[in-house]
């Protein structure tokens, strides 16, 4: 019995040691990355880009939609949503597929800032450390604002300004619930849902966005039906 307890203790210590090494490497990589270009410099680069839009000039319909579908606990977590991450892991294990990622909006912003072309697992820890830095030094409003201005919406549209103008011919402030929920669904798979090639797929994704808004108490079922049934004049 004592031998079994010792074996369990050794295994536990070994696991803790491995975790410590992984986190040390992640933190070391994080420091190396921000040592080359600081997070604050990256933020300044994003804000100085042509077409950058302040959150006050973006429709609440769109902002509510993208938070609802991408990160419903955005206002509650500190950059990494451990509850959402655990839920995603359990869902993926249960369904035997990688259907949910568990990344927060802040983590997605960090990824787009530093790891846009890096899909490796080893980037996840530095990404988390960057997300923590962003949450500590910038407000939720500022983080969301940067996120919607940097992500890709398909058909060559980067940022909410290009997406609004090129898809609908309107400013981000003018997006209706139907238009905003449509655009909010695109970042998950912008090439697959591109409005120029797969409007039906985008409409299906829009319904998921609207349903999430109902589930999170943002809109009513009546508003969902009205927005889902509205015909959108997409500029192709």
Cβ–Cβ < 8 Å for 185, 202: yes
pTM to 2 decimal places? 0.87
Reply yes or no on whether the pLDDT at 28 is more than 60: yes
| CATH at residue 204 | 1.10.3810.10
Reply yes or no on whether the pLDDT at 98 is more than 50: no
What is the predicted pLDDT for the residue at 100? 45
Distance CA 235, CA 233 (A): 6
What is the predicted pLDDT for the residue at 115? 86
For residue 15, the SS3 value is helix
What is the predicted pLDDT for the residue at 85? 65
Report the candidate in 151, 108, 146, 147 with the shortest Cα–Cα distance to residue 127. 108
Q: Is there a domain that residue 212 lies in?
A: yes
Distance CA 5, CA 113 (A): 47
Distance CA 136, CA 230 (A): 40
What is the predicted pLDDT for the residue at 69? 96
Reply yes or no on whether the pLDDT at 78 is more than 50: yes
Q: Is there a domain that residue 192 lies in?
A: yes
First to last CA, the chain: 71
What is the predicted pLDDT for the residue at 234? 87
pLDDT, greater one: 97 or 2: 2
Report the candidate in 181, 167, 166 with the shortest Cα–Cα distance to residue 62. 181
Tally of domains in the chain? 1
**Looking at 2-11, 40-49, 178-187, which range is the least confident one?**
2-11
Q: Is there a domain that residue 17 lies in?
A: no
Distance CA 176, CA 228 (A): 12
pLDDT, greater one: 105 or 120: 105
What is the predicted pLDDT for the residue at 5? 73
Reply yes or no on whether the pLDDT at 143 is more than 90: yes
Structure tokens at 67: 């938070």
What is the predicted pLDDT for the residue at 155? 94
Q: Is there a domain that residue 163 lies in?
A: yes
Task: Using the structure block, give the residue that is written with the tokens 């890096």.
Answer: 118
For residue 158, the SS3 value is strand
Q: Is there a domain that residue 16 lies in?
A: no
What is the predicted pLDDT for the residue at 15? 78
**196-211 pLDDT, tens digit each:** 989 999 999 999 999 9
Structure tokens at 191: 């090439």
Band the pLDDT of 129: cuts 50, 70, 90. Answer: very high
Band the pLDDT of 99: cuts 50, 70, 90. Answer: very low
Q: How far is CA 224 from CA 86, 112, 142, 213, in A?
A: 29, 31, 28, 8
**214-236 pLDDT, tens digit each:** 999 999 999 999 999 998 888 86
Buried b (16+ CB within 10 A) or exposed e, 192-225: ebbbeebbeebeebbeebbbbbbeeebbeeeebe
**% of the chain with per-residue pLDDT over 70:** 89
Residues in the chain: 236
Mean predicted confidence (pLDDT) in 28-49: 92
Mean predicted confidence (pLDDT) in 10-17: 76
Residue 31 CB neighbours (<10 A): 11
Q: Is there a domain that residue 132 lies in?
A: yes
Q: Is there a domain that residue 3 lies in?
A: no
Q: Which residues pair with 152 in a beta bridge?
A: 158
Mean pLDDT of the chain: 88
Domain of residue 138 covers 37-229
Report the candidate in 161, 174, 89 with the shortest Cα–Cα distance to residue 124. 89
């Amino acid at each position: 019995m004592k031998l079994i307890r010792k074996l369990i203790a050794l295994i536990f210590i070994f696991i803790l040691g491995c975790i410590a090494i992984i986190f040390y490497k992640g933190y070391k990589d994080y420091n190396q990355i921000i040592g080359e270009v600081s997070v604050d410099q990256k933020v300044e680069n994003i804000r100085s880009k042509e077409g950058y839009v302040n959150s006050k000039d973006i429709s609440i319909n769109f902002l509510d939609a993208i938070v609802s579908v991408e990160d419903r606990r955005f206002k509650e977590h500190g950059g990494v949503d451990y509850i959402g991450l655990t839920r995603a892991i359990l869902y993926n294990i249960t369904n035997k597929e990688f259907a949910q990622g568990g990344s927060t909006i802040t983590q997605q912003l960090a990824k787009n800032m530093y790891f846009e072309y890096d899909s490796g697992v080893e980037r996840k820890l530095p990404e988390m450390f960057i997300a923590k830095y962003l949450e500590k030094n910038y407000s939720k409003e500022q983080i969301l604002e940067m996120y919607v201005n940097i992500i890709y919406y398909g058909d060559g549209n980067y940022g909410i300004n290009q997406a609004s103008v090129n898809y609908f011919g309107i400013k981000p402030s003018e997006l209706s619930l139907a238009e905003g929920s449509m655009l909010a669904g695109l970042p998950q798979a912008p090439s697959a849902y591109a409005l120029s090639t797969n409007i039906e797929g985008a409409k299906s994704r829009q319904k998921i966005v609207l349903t999430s808004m109902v589930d999170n108490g943002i809109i009513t079922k009546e508003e969902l039906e009205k927005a889902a049934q509205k015909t959108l004049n997409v500029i192709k």
